[in-house]
Structure 1
Amino acid sequence: MRANLYDGFFIDIGVPADFERAQTELPERVRRSAVFFDRDGVLNIDKAYVHKVEDFEWVAGAREAIKLCNDRGYLTFVVTNQAGVARGYYGIEAIQTLHDWISRDLAEIGAHIDEFQYCPYHEEGVVAEWRQASDRRKPAPGMILDCLKGWPVRKESSLLVGDMPHDLQAAAAAGIAGHLFKGGDLLSFIRPLLGANSGLIGP
């Protein structure tokens, strides 16, 4: 028999008082900071309504930026307006196919997106099914809020990277920091935003 010293968080739930304490402390301990990325213009070159794999071109340092977020323990999300669906340029299936390809391409360097969120609605769309205003379309914060509801996100230390003012407006409406990416190397841009901190909750 051997034992190891451990100085991290620990609760013995063998007694009622500690079990009760665990109900509030454990959810807080598993919360993680998150990075929300806009897609077109941040992760890939914006060529207007990109929906085909052959038209997708990574922004310099984008894959590496995602991997850095993963390695630092940040939850990593994509939140993207996709009005091309409402405008009749492509269907929902094209978005899913492209996002599946992005996931496979990221996996080749050991990176991943935890969840893709997209909004196909636009109030001026030509496709009736998608022609409406939506609280998920940036600058509304719906996509961000859905991630906050569905994942254990530590909101106060989370951030969004976008290339348009409406991205930052959505971040502000959701109560997280927004940062405007004006091009260049995304890894170099995001590294100082993460600093030396981990996205994981501390002891």
Structure 2
Amino acid sequence: MSAPSPAVFLDRDGVINLDTGYTHKVEDLVILPGVAKGCRRLIEAGFKLVIVTNQSGIARGLYTKSDYQRFTERLLELLATQSVHFHGVYFCPHHQLGEIKQYSKDCDCRKPKPGMLLEASKDLSLDLSKSYMVGDRPSDLEAAVQAGVIGQVLIATGKVLTDEGIQKASFVADDFLAATDWILTNSK
């Protein structure tokens, strides 16, 4: 059995693609600048890439699990044409105040809880102590801290920066390539 691998966990909306608010329509899919190039550099450096995304719009009845899956499949297809492949995609469809009963609950997977990262770690044999999280909200970073991820990067392309987010971050990046540079420099 091989040694566990380092990973870079990526939030989806606001980090990989433009966040339009409950983003789920394929026609609204816009991959953010520098994402493909940065992901290729991380892969070349030996990181496994894993998407971990809260999708409370499913619980809220704003879109379906099938809508989420169509959007994600298209995102993965577009990035694959640019030589970017993910080892895993994990999502949380839950929210305590959801309208859809089967998804209306408090769970262990919704960030800031670490459930998705811990599940990915088990499934993909990841070394969390050598892994990084790139997110656009304090909840992304908190999930990483709780999972034992070594570095948390707050990317400024997503939600408005908050003092809470800046305090939780190991680094605040202006864009995805700056996040990539920091991870590569600090993982040596």
TM-score normalized with structure 1 length = 0.80
Q: Secondary structure at the match of 2:58?
A: coil
1:162 is aligned to 2:135: yes
Structure 2 gaps of 5+ residues are 158-173
Aligned residue in 2 for 1:33: 6
* Aligned partners of 2:155 and 2:175 also within 8 Å: no
Give CA deviations for 1:123-157 in whole Å, capped at 9, x if unaligned: 00011111111110000000000011111212211
1:120 is aligned to 2:93: yes
Q: Secondary structure at the match of 1:77?
A: strand
Aligned residue in 2 for 1:52: 25
1:153 pairs with one of 104, 120, 126:
126
User: Residues of 1 paired with 2:127 and 2:184: CA distance?
Assistant: 14
* Aligned partners of 1:39 and 1:78 also within 8 Å: yes
Which residue identity lines up with residue 180 of structure 1 in the other structure?
Answer: L
1:72 is aligned to 2:45: yes
* Aligned partners of 1:72 and 1:197 also within 8 Å: no
Aligned residues: 171
Q: Secondary structure at the match of 1:27?
A: coil
Provide the aligned C-alpha RMSD in A.
Answer: 1.5
1:191 pairs with one of 169, 181, 187:
181
Q: What's the offset of the Cα at 1:162?
A: 0.6
User: Residues of 2 paired with 1:152 and 1:129: CA distance?
Assistant: 30
Q: Secondary structure at the match of 1:178?
A: strand
TM-score normalized with structure 2 length = 0.86
User: Residues of 1 paired with 2:181 and 2:85: CA distance?
Assistant: 17
User: Residues of 2 paired with 1:157 and 1:193: CA distance?
Assistant: 10
Aligned residue in 2 for 1:129: 102
Aligned residue in 2 for 1:178: 152
User: Residues of 1 paired with 2:15 and 2:92: CA distance?
Assistant: 17
Identity %: 35
Structure 1 gaps of 5+ residues are 1-25, 199-203
Give CA deviations for 1:93-146 in whole Å, capped at 9, x if unaligned: 111111111111111111111111000000000111111111100000000000
Q: What's the offset of the Cα at 1:196?
A: 8.1
* Aligned partners of 2:87 and 2:124 also within 8 Å: no
Q: What's the offset of the Cα at 1:55?
A: 0.7
